[in-house]
């Protein structure tokens, strides 16, 4: 007897639960992989597999051994793992992008090279290894600049640098966070940021939406909140989409999701990066479905198993605003966390996700992975949701013991 169709969802943390549940609702058998045996998503999938999401060969090996047994029909990048997914889809001849394209979409230096070559608006940047190279490049670019990891995410290893003295440490941090052992040095540009979601299918770029992102904790770059959909007017959004579409073409992304991190500078929209996956940060997972009823995850899961793209999933069904706002308690050891249930009683507060438990330590906020938790709210407009979230924050009480 043939096994029910299955899909491999790479990564099974809290952020990946919506993809796992959506795949289940498509009657797929869900194989979820994560390096942690306690991954929150394992509870919701059918077949948990303990595998590091970046272990490409481990995934290829698993997929080849189990293709027929589980009738594997597709793979889905639930976090920043387009390369792992391309490994699976190429090995099994399933829908997806080529390995070359996946690697390019996961490497800030390779994407930068392409974009600079193809005249796609992006901050000037160069990959470096040694301190000597870094100083040479810094002298060309000028200050401030930003030194970033080449193939990491969530702002890990990235720092704004204002003078020569800061370069050695920033370079070390960025190289440490890069599997390549290198770093990228970029011109620092200023402007409001957007996270832009697109899906490419049969030559067409589907514009799903964009969210406004607010960052803080400089010289690091931590997302404090995002507002979905963006409040930018449609002309500006059109300009942004033009850059996003040409950036995807330049990288060669011709199938599935292409998510852009954009910054609206005084010289126009510029692209910072484009991984070949849907957005994280609870954006595709919660704020988009809550604000418009669009379901990009469902659309991508369906094309991943070879079904046609259902445009209905991508059409807005209503016009609300959803906000995902970080909770940033003082740093130190957590003594107690109270008030979450009370805050959830507020009309429009849909989700509160806490990343830590009593006894854990809250470290300095240096990248997005060190964040404590998030409140996700929905309402008729930004003011309405801001009010609800502010109220929720007054109810949540986190007591920490100073370090
Ligand atoms: N060239 C730049 N100029 C100004 N800010 C930048 C620049 N590059 C990155 N940033 C800031 O750092 C954040 C993370 O950088 P990004 O390139 O998107 O890497 P990742 O999200 O993978 O960590 C951006 O959202 C932005 O706030
Ligand atoms: Mg980014």
As a three-state string, the secondary structure of 92-154 is: HCCCCCCHHHHHHHCCHHHHHHHHHHCCCCCCCEEEECCHHHHHHHHHHHCCCEEEEECCCCC
First to last CA, the chain: 59
* pLDDT surpassing 80 at residue 1: no
Contact call for residues 311 and 206 (beta carbons, < 8 A) = yes
Longest dimension (CA), the chain: 66
Compute the distance from residue 198 Cα to the ligand 1 centre, in Å.
19
Note whether 195 and 306 are same-domain residues: yes
In a domain, 234, yes or no: yes
Q: What was the pLDDT predicted at 368?
A: 82
- Cβ of residue 123 lying under 6 Å from some atom of ligand 1: yes
Global confidence as pTM: 0.96
Note whether 372 and 272 are same-domain residues: no
Of the candidates 227, 272, 276, the one whose C-alpha atom is nearest the C-alpha of residue 251 is 276
CB contact set of 103 (below 8 Å; sequence gap of 6+): 83, 86, 110
Q: How confident is the model at residue 403 (pLDDT cuts 50, 70, 90)?
A: low
**Ligand 1 atom with the shortest distance to the CA of 186:** 1
pLDDT tens digits along 52-89: 999 999 999 999 999 999 999 999 999 999 999 999 99
* pLDDT surpassing 90 at residue 369: no
pLDDT tens digits along 88-146: 999 999 999 999 999 999 999 999 999 999 999 999 999 999 999 999 999 999 999 99
Note whether 177 and 216 are same-domain residues: no
Unique residue bearing structure tokens 């805050």: 343
Note whether 245 and 151 are same-domain residues: no
Question: For the chain, how many structural domains are there in total?
Answer: 4
Residue 381 belongs to domain spanning: 322-401
Of the candidates 121, 66, 113, 73, the one whose C-alpha atom is nearest the C-alpha of residue 94 is 73
In a domain, 110, yes or no: no
Note whether 73 and 54 are same-domain residues: yes
pLDDT tens digits along 317-354: 999 999 999 999 999 999 999 999 999 999 999 999 99
In a domain, 105, yes or no: no
CATH number assigned to the domain comprising residue 205? 3.30.470.20
Partners of residue 292 on adjacent β-strands: none
Q: How far apart are CA 288 and CA 85, in angstroms?
A: 24
If one residue of 149, 158, 213, 264 were mutated to test the ligand 1 pocket, choosing by the most ligand atoms within 8 A of its CB, it would be 158
């Amino acid at each position: 007897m043939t096994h029910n169709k299955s899909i491999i969802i790479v990564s099974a943390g809290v952020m990946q639960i919506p993809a796992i549940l959506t795949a289940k609702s498509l009657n797929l058998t869900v194989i979820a992989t994560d390096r942690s045996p306690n991954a929150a998503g394992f509870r919701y999938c059918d077949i948990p597999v303990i595998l590091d999401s970046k272990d490409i060969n481990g995934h290829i090996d698993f997929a080849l051994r189990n293709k027929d047994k589980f009738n594997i029909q597709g793979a889905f990048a639930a976090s920043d793992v387009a390369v792992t997914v391309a490994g699976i889809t190429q090995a099994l001849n399933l829908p997806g992008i080529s390995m070359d394209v996946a690697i390019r979409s996961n490497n800030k230096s390779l994407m930068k090279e392409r974009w600079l070559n193809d005249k796609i608006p992006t901050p000037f940047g160069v990959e470096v290894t040694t301190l000597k190279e870094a100083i040479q490049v810094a002298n060309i670019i000028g200050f401030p600049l930003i030194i970033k990891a080449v193939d990491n995410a969530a702002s890990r290893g990235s720092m704004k640098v204002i003078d020569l003295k800061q370069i050695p440490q920033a370079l070390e941090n960025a190289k440490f966070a890069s599997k390549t052992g290198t770093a990228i040095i970029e011109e620092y540009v200023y402007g409001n940021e957007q996270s832009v979601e697109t899906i490419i299918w049969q030559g067409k770029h589907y514009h799903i939406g964009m969210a406004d992102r607010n960052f803080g904790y400089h010289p690091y770059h931590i997302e404090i909140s995002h507002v979905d959909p963006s409040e930018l007017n449609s002309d500006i959004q059109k300009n942004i989409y033009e850059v996003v579409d040409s950036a995807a073409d330049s990288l060669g992304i011709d199938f599935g999701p292409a998510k852009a991190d954009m910054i609206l500078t005084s010289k126009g929209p510029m692209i910072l990066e484009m991984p070949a996956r849907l957005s994280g940060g609870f954006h595709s997972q919660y704020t988009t479905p809550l604000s418009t009823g669009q379901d990009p995850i469902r659309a991508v899961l369906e094309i991943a198993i070879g079904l046609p793209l259902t445009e209905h999933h991508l059409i807005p069904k209503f016009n609300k605003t959803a906000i995902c706002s970080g909770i940033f308690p003082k740093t130190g050891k957590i003594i107690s966390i109270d008030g979450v249930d009370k805050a959830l009683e507020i009309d429009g507060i849909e989700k509160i996700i806490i990343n830590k438990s009593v006894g854990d330590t809250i470290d300095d906020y240096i990248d997005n992975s060190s964040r404590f938790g998030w409140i996700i709210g929905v309402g008729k407009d930004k003011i309405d949701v801001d009010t609800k979230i502010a109220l929720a924050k007054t109810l949540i009480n986190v007591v920490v013991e100073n370090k």
